[in-house]
């Protein structure tokens, strides 16, 4: 893939560590692994990461902001997820996912959405189970150790690092707004560095 066709220059991806996986790899993630380093860490294919971020943003953009839910139990993603919600108007649940929020209409906090994005399929599994119950598609950020059997679309990435999650949510927000024709300027009003905590 030519450098200019990436959403950001490849060195931005590398500096954020979006490609650094874990020592454990599942069968779901094997197609996205570029190589395994001598220290045993898997390295994800940056072209695939870029392609999947683009594809996921197009998928999300088919839905109005109020129909999108982003769930993130992993603390390193809380700020980027909040910024995503602030910019796009999507519903976000940083921290613990409240049980039954999608499935129990009697709850005060009950919400209805049409698509969900989770930061990690293991800590966010309760949200995924609720999404399955109500029949909405789920996009998941997946590291090399993630199971993906209940996800409709995966974004292969380092879903544990603060800078990696920041960059991914920055790009998803920017591309979502572009796809929906909601971004007037070339760039977002919130800088990439703020998403990444720099």
The CATH number that applies at residue 10 is 3.40.50.10490
Predicted confidence band of residue 67 (pLDDT cuts 50, 70, 90)? very high
Average pLDDT, the chain: 93
* Dihedral (CA of 159, 160, 164, 166) sign: positive
CA gap 66, 78 in Å, rounded: 19
What sign has the CA pseudo-torsion 123, 76, 78, 84? negative
* Domain range enclosing 88: 3-181+188-196
Q: How many domains does the chain have?
A: 1
Structure tokens at 140: 């998941």
Give the pLDDT confidence score for residue 48 in this predicted structure: 95
Most confident stretch, 113-117, 120-124, 186-190? 113-117
Residue 73 has pLDDT above 90, yes or no: yes
Checking if the pLDDT of 194 tops 60, the result is: yes
Distance CA 195, CA 171 (A): 10
Residue 3 reports pLDDT greater than 60: no
């Amino acid at each position: 893939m030519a450098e200019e066709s990436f959403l950001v220059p490849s060195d931005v991806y590398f500096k954020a560590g979006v490609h650094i996986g874990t020592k454990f790899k599942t069968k779901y993630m094997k197609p996205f692994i570029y190589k395994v380093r001598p220290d045993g860490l898997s390295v994800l294919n940056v072209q695939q990461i870029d392609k999947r971020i683009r594809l996921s943003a197009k998928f999300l953009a088919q839905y109005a902001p109020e129909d999108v839910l982003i769930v993130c139990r992993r603390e390193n993603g809380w700020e980027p997820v909040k910024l995503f919600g602030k910019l796009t108007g999507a519903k976000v649940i940083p921290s613990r996912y409240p049980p039954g929020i999608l499935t129990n209409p009697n709850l005060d906090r009950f919400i209805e959405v049409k698509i969900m994005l989770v930061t990690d399929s293991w800590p966010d599994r309760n949200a995924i189970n609720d999404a399955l119950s109500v029949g909405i598609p789920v996009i998941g950020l997946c590291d090399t150790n993630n199971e993906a059997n209940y996800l409709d679309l995966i974004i292969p990435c380092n879903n544990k690092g603060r800078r990696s999650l920041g960059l991914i949510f920055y790009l998803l927000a920017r591309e979502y707004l572009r796809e929906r024709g909601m971004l007037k300027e070339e760039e977002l009003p919130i800088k990439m560095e703020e998403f990444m905590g720099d």
